[in-house]
Structure 1
């Protein structure tokens, strides 16, 4: 095959070109539909969706085959099993299994993944500050793996080679106190680290503040604690920003929130404008130094790492995170008219390759 006058085109360049061409074709198709409808603007079936941009994937991912749905993942909190130890202390327990499996990360694109409990991201583990946590980790995969938790624990529980790493067929139990409260994550820390993370071994780890430990900020703490009346007022969402290098050249071909590109573009996240929104935002993108979130037509308060009850940034509309950085976003649409409001990465390439979404405010 000849290279032509411009030499070899990298795969990412081909994908960009394909996205532009597919977008142009899709735009023409919609324009024709609009003309047939006798309207001046293209008919989209999703209100403003067609006007925001035309870069798309074609088809849909089979969530049933994958065993997880990014729409359901937004609000799935795994609170484990709660028991009481002989000293009267509350203990929260989970069982997590590392599994090799093929995951459809875009329509017709299958990725040879390493997963926690068969999904990417792994389950969102949620607990309360001060509880004793016990995570039984089983390795049903083909490589050594760990679970490294971003939190406070002893060296023995760090989930790194020599401290919690297990081979195929082995098991290990991590045990530590839930400290500090905030929006955290867990991931594999085996070598080579970039491969174990990129292949899918990561998930959200949320520690709610205990209101009894924060008497001067009891209401703010209670609003964060799952199951309280104050927390019930909030619409809480988990968003894990990730990417996928499908040809293993250390460059991502797809970017997403919760794994599937454009998942929330055609299926916007429905928001009740009478209730505030809280987003647990985590960046675990490999091969890129930063990722970001930008919200259209609104501003938000941001709590870096979620370890404070007062915002670290107020009234911003864009936030950047390096890999493993995370935080809590709080915003309201109370004064907005109903409709579609876009949010996405504010790196254009990331948005065009999948990290593009909508809120549907009702």
Structure 2
């Protein structure tokens, strides 16, 4: 009995002591867990709150400005799916409109981009031909909020096929590779703004590098839906491009231009206040070498690949590869005028500009823009960057409109070619066909023309001896230079006759240029009898066995002037 009582007393004492130990333990572990959870929750915020030189970069208020879309947009009740319309002047049919996918931003907009061939100035005294979106190089900047839905009505008024390829997240029908939008056609692209950052758009018709260098590109800016992530700044967009006066497919360019005109910001400096943050959406749409962007007299923050989700790094120069981007944020400790440029050969060939950092006590004088064009100076008082440059920024302020108006004044675009008809010009096809038939009838072998490949893989004799002859090799070559509409021979042989049950092989010998072999014609479209898909220009093959008699027209959907015929006996 005494033993049990003793144990009971011991147990009670132990419990009392344990309570004294448990309470501090609970408090200690609670504090540790709270600190850990707060640390995890704020990791991204702490990492992103990095500072440019001369710092004090604070987070903005909830109403950070996301304006700056210099394209007129119209609200739509629903988003349009991607469709082709051969009438360039037609309104969007109601049948092409369906309910949009679930998005985080309910806004739906529509803009129009038109491809036209124009003449523009890219430097004083240098007027060149360009392929454009809406008449300028680069095309107008498109700006969206993250999750915002946009329908782009694309009209091709040029003589050759083009597309619009958007960087970012979207499905294949909006990817801008297939279909190629033929002369006279209209196509509806539909995209959602994602991910947030500095993206881009450009033509993806082959050869893509040629279409880009000729001017078919522009900026696509997507603002993050969480606006607290972005500090108030004076915002500019800079699209790096190239232009060659003689050989657009050559490696070296004659001009490395920013926003389509050489050294335009040397004579028309960007202007910011000393204590304000500058934000540059930097996009490289050159085709060959990186743009190693550098600001004088300051270091700066860069968001890799131009995406807000990436943690910024502290930079002295940022290298942006072709097809990539960066977001640059900077401040200067001292007022003054500072250069910016791409480090290297580009800065000697048009890639140079200035930034005027205005003292905090200075007042805005309504600084006018001096436009240097064709060796003349013209002042445009209506091209002021800002009326409140002396006021501190409380929200982001876009200069996109000022930049685009300056660009248009400098380039002075004039349309030189439009395609008004539906489909492909029948008269052009008739002339090409007659030229082919003349070559066949007179047994001409153009061995001295580097653009043509008129020899079969199996012999060295001309394969254009007769029209509708028996093709013993059953091989048809897509010849070098076929992507050029001025060529007179696209397929070798141009016309072929085979026996029922013959397997015919097409070989793409047009180096580095993709083609298709598609039954049908460019006016009526594919018939579905045979379709190669894209054949890369590396001697890739497509084969089809003909099991029915008849005449089969075929063409290249990427280059619809390329037409031919097979007769099956």
Separation in 2, partners of 1:289, 1:113: 21
Alignment of 1:178-193 (within 5 A): 178-193=193-208
Alignment of 1:227-242 (within 5 A): 233-242=232-241
The corresponding residue for 1:219 is 228
**2:87 corresponds to 1:78:** no
**2:134 corresponds to 1:144:** no
Partner SS state of residue 238, structure 2: strand
**2:319 corresponds to 1:323:** no
Q: Could you state the TM-score of these two structures normalised by the residue count of structure 1?
A: 0.70
Separation in 2, partners of 1:183, 1:281: 7
Partners of 1:79 and 1:125 within 8 A in 2: no
Alignment of 1:51-66 (within 5 A): none
Deviation at 1:80, TM superposition (A): 2.4
Q: Could you state the TM-score of these two structures normalised by the residue count of structure 2?
A: 0.45
Separation in 1, partners of 2:307, 2:341: 24
The corresponding residue for 1:113 is 130
Q: Which runs of 5+ in 2 are unaligned?
A: 1-67, 79-98, 359-569
Separation in 1, partners of 2:261, 2:127: 11
Larger Rg: 2
The corresponding residue for 1:254 is 255
Separation in 2, partners of 1:303, 1:84: 35
Match among 126, 130, 135 for residue 143 of structure 2: 126
Residue deviations 1:75-128 (CA, integer Å, cap 9, x gap): 764362334437893202110000100111111111110000000100000011
Separation in 2, partners of 1:309, 1:273: 28
Residue-pair matches, total: 265
Q: Which runs of 5+ in 1 are unaligned?
A: 1-74, 212-217, 224-229
The corresponding residue for 2:93 is none
The corresponding residue for 1:290 is 290
Separation in 1, partners of 2:221, 2:261: 22
Separation in 2, partners of 1:100, 1:152: 29
Deviation at 1:152, TM superposition (A): 0.6
**2:238 corresponds to 1:245:** no
Alignment of 1:85-96 (within 5 A): 85=78, 89-96=106-113
Residue deviations 1:177-201 (CA, integer Å, cap 9, x gap): 2221111000000011111000000
Separation in 2, partners of 1:174, 1:158: 8
Partner SS state of residue 196, structure 1: helix
Q: 1:351 to 1:76 in 2, by over 3 A?
A: farther
Partner SS state of residue 131, structure 2: strand
Q: 1:316 to 1:79 in 2, by over 3 A?
A: farther
Partners of 2:114 and 2:154 within 8 A in 1: yes
Separation in 2, partners of 1:310, 1:151: 15
Alignment of 1:291-306 (within 5 A): 291-306=291-306
Separation in 2, partners of 1:328, 1:81: 28
Separation in 2, partners of 1:356, 1:256: 8
Q: 1:304 to 1:78 in 2, by over 3 A?
A: farther
Separation in 1, partners of 2:265, 2:76: 37
